[in-house]
Structures are given as C-alpha cells and as structure tokens.
Chains A and B, each alone.
Chain A
Amino acid sequence: MELIVALGLIVFKVALLIAMLLLLPLPLTWLERKIAGHMQQRMGPMRVGWHGLLQPVADGIKLLTKEDHIPAEADRFLFKLAPILALAPPFVVFVAIPFGETVSVLGNEISLYVSNMNVALLFVFAVIGLEVYGVIFGGWAANSKYAVLGSLRTCAQMISYEIPMGFAVIGVVMLAQSMSLLDIVRAQADVWNIVYQPVGFFVFFVAGLAEAQRIPFDLAEAEGDLGAGFHTEYSGIRFAFFMVSEYVIMLLVSVLSVILFFGGWNGVLIPLPPLLWFALKVAFFVYVFMWFRFTFPRYRYDQLMAIGWKVLLPLSMANIIITGIVFS
C-alpha cells in the first residue's frame, strides 16, 4: 500500500512538472514580447485579451492549424525525430532539480523534488548535452544550406561552451562537498555561493547564455544571416517544439543559476515562503535573459569561439585552482 502511494505521488509530481513546463512557455512568450515592446517604446501585444494576455493562445492555435511542411529532399525520419530530441532532454533534466525542501499537505510532508540524486549535477550536464542532437539532426535532415550552417554553428558552440560551464560549477561542488543539488542549496544557508564564486558565476552565466542560444550568442538561429538557422524549414507544431525547448532551456539555466550560486530557496531579510523566494529569483534571471536579448547585438562567430576557448576556459580553470587553494 505504501509503495503504491509513493509511486502515485511520483507519477503525480512528474505529470505536474510536465504540465508546468509545457504551459510556462506561453506566459514567457507573452512576457518576452511585452519586454521587447517596452524596451523599444512600443506596447507589444495589446489586442487579444487584457493587454494581449491571450496572444500566446492565439499563436498556439495558429501553429497547430498550420500546414506541417516537410521539404521534398529532407530525410523524413530524422526530420520528424529532431524536434522530439530537442524537446525531451530539457524536460528530463527537471527530474533532478529540487524546488524546495518539503511542503506539508494535509499533515503529510511532501518533498518538492522528484528525486534527490547524489550526482544530480552530473546528470544535469549529461542530459542537457543531448539536446544538441535535436539541433544537429534538425539542421542536417532539412537538407537546406541555412539549416546546415545553423546546426554546424550550434554544434561547435554547444560543445565549446559546455566545457567552461562544467568547469565553472566545480568550484560550487568543492564548496558544498557534494554533487547533490539539495546539498548544494543547504550549504548556502548562511552565505550564497555568489560571494565566494563571482568568477564561477560569471563563467557559468555567459556559458549558459550560449547554451540556451540566446542573444548575444544566438548564432544557431541568427535571423540576420541564416534565415532562422537550424529550424528554417520547420513549420507548425514541430517548430513549436523547438520553441518550447528553447524556453525550457532558458528556464533551466535560470533555475541552475539560482540553485548553484544564489542560494536556491534560502531567503534574505524578508521572510517569504521558500518556494516564493525560489520563484522570484528564477523570474529575475528569466527577466535578465530577455533584458540581454533586447540590449546586445550578436557576437561574430570567431569572437564567440575566442570568448569560449580563450577567456571562459582559462577563467574557469583559474577559478578551480584558486578555490582549491583558498578553501582547502
């Protein structure tokens, strides 16, 4: 009986998580367009619903009813597989992400995470690395020069930025003496990691921007020179899959920044519920992502590679060495 209850709870949590992650891109697209508008002294969507709140729903209906077009020369199997490959890994990663300690419902303590892995951080980086397959297959299968160029760029970008990103979090792991995200947050109860690891955070965040393929590192889909990059040939619901995947990764990088460097659900000064603290911090980082997008131009391709290998990689390695010397 207890086993069935525990199993049912996990299934419920997973279902809730998937529903949340599938629905969150809707308000996020609205927010992104609103922020874009106001930063350019426009208003953004205003006509569908109150201040355009129903605009994402209208966009979703439009994408669902659009023709699902596959180019004649495309590799049909890979072309259909790629959006799913791009969508699945970001969802899988959230299994390892804790949103808080426990919350009591009807006298029962329910943990706010699906699983507390002791190698959660490793799992996160291993699975998020798979997302690049969706992008590469999508660009390759479409058999279009823009898509291939976009996916080649993404390939190089993702691989070169995952290395400094992985090195940047080693400092955090050294401080917490654990790879479990829960333990990492618990270790930050007094002082957040950003105080000890400002360089680590800088490297992690810049690499995260590149990982999420956001401006200033959105070379994979650079509208100006590549049409839409790897998803040039996609339309309808398959395009929506890529879009959802992009937003979930943006959310994931925000969540990881909060957990690893900004104390997770530990609050300061104002006593708020831990879950609310967590949500506020994540919302701030999501805003920063959008703020960056509408402020900065795109880096050139060689600059992107130079930043990744010549600046971020040495910085993250120096960070590991200094952390090891100071905190050993």
Chain B
Amino acid sequence: MSRAWDRTGTWIGWAFFSDLSNALALTLGYMFSRTVTMQYPDKEKWLPYSRYRGHHFLKRDEEGEIKCVACELCARICPCDCIEVVPYEDERGNRRPAKFEIDTARCLFCGLCEDACPADAIALGQQYEFSSFSSRDLVIGRDDLLTKPGKAATGGGVVAARLDTKKDVLVEASEPQGYNWWRNIRRT
C-alpha cells in the first residue's frame, strides 16, 4: 500500500479513529488465529533435536562392553565438578569405571564431558523429564546411565502425549516427527 493511500495520518483517518480501528482489527485477527500454546504435558510433547543436551548416557561398544575407559577426563573438565569416576581393572586387563556417578542437580548441561571424552563413551541425550522430589535421587550411577535414552534421530516436532502422574510424562504417539510447531505461528 502506497503512502498516498494510507489514510492513517490524514484527517479522515483521524476523524474516524483509524488507529484505534486498526488495533481492534489486529486483535480480532489474532483472536481467530491458531494458538501457539504447546499443551505440555496434558496433550502434547516436544521432541528434542539430535543436538539437544539432555540427560547424560553411557555408551556400549559392539560387544556390549561399556566404552568408558575411566580416564577421568570428564571429571577433570567438568566446570561444576559433578562427575565422580573410580577406575578398576577387569579380568581382561582393561581399565573400566567401578563407579561412575553424575550429580545432575549440580550439572549445568554444558556438554564439555562429551567433548572431552577420548573413547566416545559419554554423551548428552534427549531425555529432559527427570525432576525429582529429592536431590539425592538426582545422583545417577553407572548402571542407570547405561539405560538412559540416547541422542534423538530427528526432532523438533510436537507429538500427542498424555500426563501419567503415577510414573512420568509419557509420550503416547509412535509417530517419530509430529507437526512443526513453528509453522503455526502467526507473525504480523
């Protein structure tokens, strides 16, 4: 629209409150546009991207052996000092962690442990729902870390979910991607 036709600044627009009516039209348009609310955790849940830094997990190699060599580099680089590793020598003479504890209450999820690891054993996965009533429950041991979910394959979508207060927030739908939440946003 050219400036000449824009009557907002002219006396006609002034006399008929064009600024006020433009505002009313805008809010009315928004009123009947789609809402952007993600109904988490009642109905929907967001799937994290593969780059997402969620809960830590430990990896196994092809033989099912734990990859970690207990070099303690992750514990050394950790800025909040929340990783504790105690090494031992297994029957084949390999150095392995006897104790591998992460205090997720203190962790700031920077991902430096993942970068520092020479054996590609520790990484930050896709799980982000691990709130707890006790900070003691947030200290995660080696065997629990081995069972935590890994990196997401895709992500960024929103899928149907249902809140199960007895166990956890459960994702019901099996669809891997869901709809693109960003596409629904009205921008004006």
Interface residues of A (CB under 8 A from B): 35, 37-43, 46-47, 291-292, 294-296
Q: A46 to B42, Cβ gap below 8 A? A: yes
A37 neighbours in B (Cβ, 8 Å): 35
| Contact A291/B37 with A41-B186, A46-B42, A296-B20 known, Cβ cut-off 8 Å | no
A295 neighbours in B (Cβ, 8 Å): 23-24, 26-27
| Contact A47/B42 with A41-B36, A291-B24 known, Cβ cut-off 8 Å | yes
B184 to chain A, nearest CB (A): 9
Does B180 sit within 8 A of A, measured CB to CB?
no
* Total interface residues in chain B, CB < 8 Å: 18
Instruction: For the complex of A and B, list the 5 residue pairs with the smallest distance between their C-beta atoms, beginning with the closest.
Output: A295-B27, A43-B37, A39-B27, A41-B36, A38-B31
Most buried by B among A40, A47, A295: A295
A40–B20 CA distance with the chains assembled, in angstroms = 18
Does B181 sit within 8 A of A, measured CB to CB?
no
Contact residues of B between 1 and 47, Cβ < 8 Å to A: 20, 23-24, 26-28, 30-37, 39, 42
B186 to chain A, nearest CB (A): 7
Q: Which residue of B lies closest to A34 (CB)?
A: B31
B42 to chain A, nearest CB (A): 7
Q: A40 to B30, Cβ gap below 8 A? A: yes
B17 to chain A, nearest CB (A): 10
Q: A296 to B39, Cβ gap below 8 A? A: no
A46 neighbours in B (Cβ, 8 Å): 39, 42
B185 neighbours in A (Cβ, 8 Å): 41
Q: Which residue of B lies closest to A40 (CB)?
A: B30
Q: B27 to A291, Cβ gap below 8 A? A: yes
Q: B35 to A42, Cβ gap below 8 A? A: yes
A37–B35 CA distance with the chains assembled, in angstroms = 9
B127 to chain A, nearest CB (A): 25
A327 to chain B, nearest CB (A): 24
B30 neighbours in A (Cβ, 8 Å): 38-41
A42–B27 CA distance with the chains assembled, in angstroms = 13
Contact residues of B between 40 and 93, Cβ < 8 Å to A: 42
B141 to chain A, nearest CB (A): 36
Q: Which residue of B lies closest to A292 (CB)?
A: B24
A41–B185 CA distance with the chains assembled, in angstroms = 9
Most buried by B among A35, A41, A296: A41
B28 to chain A, nearest CB (A): 7
Q: A38 to B20, Cβ gap below 8 A? A: no
B115 to chain A, nearest CB (A): 38
Q: A35 to B31, Cβ gap below 8 A? A: yes
A296–B28 CA distance with the chains assembled, in angstroms = 13
A13–B115 CA distance with the chains assembled, in angstroms = 77
A294 neighbours in B (Cβ, 8 Å): 27
A41–B36 CA distance with the chains assembled, in angstroms = 6
A38–B35 CA distance with the chains assembled, in angstroms = 7
Q: B35 to A41, Cβ gap below 8 A? A: yes
| Contact A41/B42 with A291-B28, A295-B24, A295-B27 known, Cβ cut-off 8 Å | no
A46–B41 CA distance with the chains assembled, in angstroms = 12
A296–B22 CA distance with the chains assembled, in angstroms = 11
A37–B39 CA distance with the chains assembled, in angstroms = 14
Most buried by A among B31, B32, B35: B31
Q: Which residue of A lies closest to B30 (CB)?
A: A39
A42 neighbours in B (Cβ, 8 Å): 35-37
B32 neighbours in A (Cβ, 8 Å): 38
B38 to chain A, nearest CB (A): 10
B165 to chain A, nearest CB (A): 13
| Contact A41/B39 with A291-B27, A295-B24 known, Cβ cut-off 8 Å | no
A315 to chain B, nearest CB (A): 13
B109 to chain A, nearest CB (A): 28
